[in-house]
Amino acid sequence: MEAVFQRMLSTRPSIAQLWNAVKELPGGPGMFSRLIGQLSPHSGSLGAKVLRLEDGGVEVFLKDRRILSGADGSLHVSVLANLAELTTGLAIQYVVDRRGEAVLKGLTIEALAPSMGSVTASCDDLVPVRAGRYSPSLVATIRDDEGVVVARATTTWDVYLGR
């Protein structure tokens, strides 16, 4: 599997091409997630796993680990913010990758409930595609294992797409 992945990377595929090639393979989503972690070490430190990645839909799972928790045992809000950035960033990159660039411009997060245990972040926003520079905002919703919304974050991205 590793050799297949390395061969694919040598062709410099987009995030979308890479995900679509490996998502159904045994171990493919895990390997894809590790690659994303290498490309973005700050987000990679979370150890999150991409579950779904498509235009208008991203889901990322984060397993509960003591190192990610605050004194009360719940996931620290900074961890939730990092997960929201990763989730909305994948949504943006799925559309923009290899056609332009996107840089996070702002992030706000509201913690709505204690986040005890593992969580899943999702972003179901469609990313607008148009030539030039623009600033879309995307929302990431973070739920615990029981489906309770524990946080909601809004990210704003500075996007530039060539003509």
* Domain segments of the chain as ranges: 2-161
pLDDT at 31: 87
| Residue pLDDT tens, the chain, 163 long | 566 656 666 667 788 888 988 899 898 898 888 888 887 877 778 889 999 999 889 999 999 887 777 778 788 999 999 999 999 999 999 988 878 899 999 999 999 999 889 999 999 998 888 889 999 999 999 999 999 999 999 999 999 998 6
pLDDT at 42: 78
Closest by alpha carbon to 82, among 156, 153, 157?
Answer: 153
pLDDT at 134: 94
pLDDT at 4: 60
The long-range contacts involving 65-74, CB below 8 angstroms and separated by at least 24 positions, are: 72/114, 73/116, 74/114, 74/115, 74/116
pLDDT at 137: 96
Q: Six-digit token pair at 2? A: 């590793």
Q: What is the DSSP string of 85-115?
A: HHHHHHHHHHHHTTTEEEEEEEEEEEE-S--
To which CATH superfamily is domain 2-161 assigned?
A: Hotdog Thioesterase (3.10.129.10)
pLDDT at 13: 78
Query: For residue 82, which amino acid is it?
Result: N
